[in-house]
Amino acid sequence: MATAGEEMVDGEGAPVPGEGAPVEGVEGGEQQVGEAEAAAAAAEAAEEEIPSQAEVAKISRMQSIDPQDLPMTYSTNSEEEKLVLEYVENFRRQFVQLYPERKELLLCPRNECGVEKFICTSIRPTQLEYNELYDLQACATFVAEHIQYEALADPVVLPMYVPSPTSVLQWQIGDCIDKSIVLASLLIGVGYDAYVVIGYADQTTCLADETKSELPAANANGKGMRNGSVREGGGGDE
């Protein structure tokens, strides 16, 4: 066994590289490793630009829209909006610097026209002519039943696009953020102090899985549960 300062040799007397011994080609190896890391970083950056599966359906709906049928504010930003975007970007940089381990904030997604908009401007206080929607529970039920729920492909990744409440109501389909913005817009329009909060929930909630939920009670029309049985096609207890 070689001691410190001694040089190890093989059976033919040739030196064997060991700890502290120079190894030929190390510089070239470091260069290859550096190139591999750069390629991996470039691939990761490219993946961030590729929309997830959940965004594909939304993008196809947006492509069916003619921007000329929408107000000019959908496809352009005013000088005030551009200034707001600059302030928001400055805030985002400071947030990332102070909290590098925190999840990215949903601040300036693109709308259905592909234009970056400050997320707060997507909420449009709206007061409809239907008095039934002035009630909190009735309004929430309307949004839940009228707009089909579309689960995110990756529940921990923020969406690249957030369309306006008008488009979501026309499509009658949207993810959790889309539906929340519609509900907040309707509630704020009739005087509620409503907010959209982005957080986490269990898988059953995120996938709208109702397989283990209790069946609803019978309503005034006799639909649903009656005497503990479900009425389907004339079956069940009468």
pLDDT in tens, 133-178: 999 999 999 999 999 998 887 778 888 899 999 999 999 999 999 9
Report if residue 18 sits inside a domain: no
For the chain, percent of residues with pLDDT exceeding 70: 68
Report if residue 204 sits inside a domain: yes
Task: Report the distance separating Cα 98 and Cα 101, nearest Å.
Answer: 9
Separation of first and last alpha carbons in the chain = 92
Report if residue 3 sits inside a domain: no
For the chain, percent of residues with pLDDT exceeding 90: 44
- Predicted confidence at residue 125, as pLDDT, reads 94
- Predicted confidence at residue 237, as pLDDT, reads 42
Q: Residue 139 carries which DSSP code?
A: H
29 — pLDDT class (breaks 50, 70, 90): low
Tell me which of 57 and 37 has the higher pLDDT: 57
* CB distance 113 to 67 below 8 Å: yes
* CB distance 216 to 222 below 8 Å: no
Report if residue 176 sits inside a domain: yes
Report if residue 151 sits inside a domain: yes
* CB distance 17 to 7 below 8 Å: no
Domain span at residue 191 reads 54-208
Report if residue 42 sits inside a domain: no
Q: What pTM was estimated for this model as a whole?
A: 0.66
Give the dihedral sign, CA 67/72/78/80.
negative
Q: How many independent structural domains does the chain possess?
A: 1
Two structure tokens written together for 9: 């040799």
Report if residue 85 sits inside a domain: yes
Q: How confident is the prediction for the chain on average, in pLDDT?
A: 77
Report if residue 5 sits inside a domain: no
> What residues form DSSP beta bridges with 226?
229
